[in-house]
């Protein structure tokens, strides 16, 4: 497979215009360097201000998508590449769009009996301040607010009363028309990387922050990552099976990451599916791959090979 791919011209698309641009720039650089060191003919392209039609002029044979968030992870780019008949890494249009939308993906989880926390939906155009009190009462008086189509914990906030929830929703509506309000989950957080049809070793994240937010993910020096995750083998296998089921339920393909928490009351609760997770050398998927036995360069090559 690698021989075929090494005869192709690979474009690593990164950067872009989303709120996750800075993370994408780091992922793209790491992926590009790994491809070059493995002998691939790769070109790094920042999509900010870039016209995709230029890919044809550059004779690009295949795209490695390293764009996080809107425009790269939500099906838009995937649709454009399919229209241009250019193969790409990761999930297709449907899998990307459905996984990116936190509300629709949770509705899918519910429909196929994948465990996930109770939730309400706040729609900007229909929202009334009195709705906050109703949501708090319905969800147990402590909630997490998440813009439906942002990643990297952008726009997320915790609320323990109606006033806090109203403020959190007001802020979240700056990012999205639809906002997910999710019942608070008390318990440890895990993530499971998916490569092909296989779940890699789980990672347990620990942070002194109230939750695993943007600061904990990208800026903190106190966040701890445990891989092996410390779970008994049977529990980890159960977690991996749930993560793989969630990944398949949204139509995700190729590679990605599923975030899960273990509620002290309700057990495993799936949070979301990520179809283009962070790929710096210190990101979560590379950590899991290392435990599995794949070096970073090997992981990047494998993601590219799966796109065949």
Across the strands, what pairs with 206? 224
Residue/partner pairs of 219-226 with CB below 8 Å, 24 or more apart: 225/284, 225/287
Helix (H, G, I), strand (E, B) or coil at 239: helix
Helix (H, G, I), strand (E, B) or coil at 63: strand
Q: What is the DSSP letter of 200?
A: P
- 159: which residues sit within 8 A by CB, 6+ positions away? 136, 142, 143, 144, 145, 165, 167, 168
- Residues with catalytic function: 20, 152, 218, 257, 259, 272, 274, 278
- The tally of CA atoms less than 13 A away on the side-chain side of residue 34 is 24
21 neighbors 52 (Cβ within 8 angstroms): no
216 neighbors 223 (Cβ within 8 angstroms): yes
| Alpha carbon distance 110, 6 (integer Å) | 42
| Alpha carbon distance 113, 120 (integer Å) | 18
Q: Is 49 left (phi over 0), alpha (psi -120 to 50) or beta?
A: left
| Alpha carbon distance 186, 119 (integer Å) | 15
| Alpha carbon distance 75, 202 (integer Å) | 27
């Amino acid at each position: 497979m690698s021989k075929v791919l090494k005869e192709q011209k690979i474009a690593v698309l990164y950067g872009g215009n989303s709120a996750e641009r800075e993370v994408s720039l780091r992922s793209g650089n790491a992926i590009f360097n790994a491809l070059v060191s493995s002998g691939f003919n790769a070109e790094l392209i920042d999509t900010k201000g870039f016209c995709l039609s230029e890919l044809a002029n550059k004779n690009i044979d295949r795209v490695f998508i390293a764009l996080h968030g809107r425009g790269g992870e939500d099906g838009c780019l995937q649709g454009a590449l399919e229209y241009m008949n250019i193969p790409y890494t990761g999930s297709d249009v449907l899998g990307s769009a459905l996984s990116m939308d936190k509300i629709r993906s949770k509705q899918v989880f519910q429909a196929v009996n994948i465990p996930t926390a109770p939730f309400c939906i706040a729609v900007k155009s229909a929202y009334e301040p009195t709705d906050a009190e109703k949501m708090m009462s319905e969800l147990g008086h402590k909630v997490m607010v998440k813009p439906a189509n942002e990643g990297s914990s952008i726009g997320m906030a915790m609320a323990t009363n109606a006033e806090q929830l109203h403020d959190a929703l007001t802020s979240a509506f700056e990012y999205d028309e639809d906002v997910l309000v999710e019942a608070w989950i008390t318990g440890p957080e895990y993530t499971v990387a998916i490569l092909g049809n296989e779940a890699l070793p789980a990672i347990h994240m620990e942070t002194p922050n109230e939750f695993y937010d943007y600061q904990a993910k990208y800026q903190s020096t106190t966040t701890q990552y445990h891989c092996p995750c410390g779970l008994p083998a049977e529990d980890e296998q159960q977690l991996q099976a749930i993560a793989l089921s969630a990944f398949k339920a949204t139509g995700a393909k190729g590679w990605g990451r599923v975030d899960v928490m273990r509620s002290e009351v309700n057990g495993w609760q799936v949070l979301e599916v990520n179809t283009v997770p962070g790929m710096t050398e210190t990101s979560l998927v590379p950590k899991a791959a290392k435990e599995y036995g794949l070096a970073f360069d090997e992981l990047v090559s494998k993601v590219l090979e799966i796109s065949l």
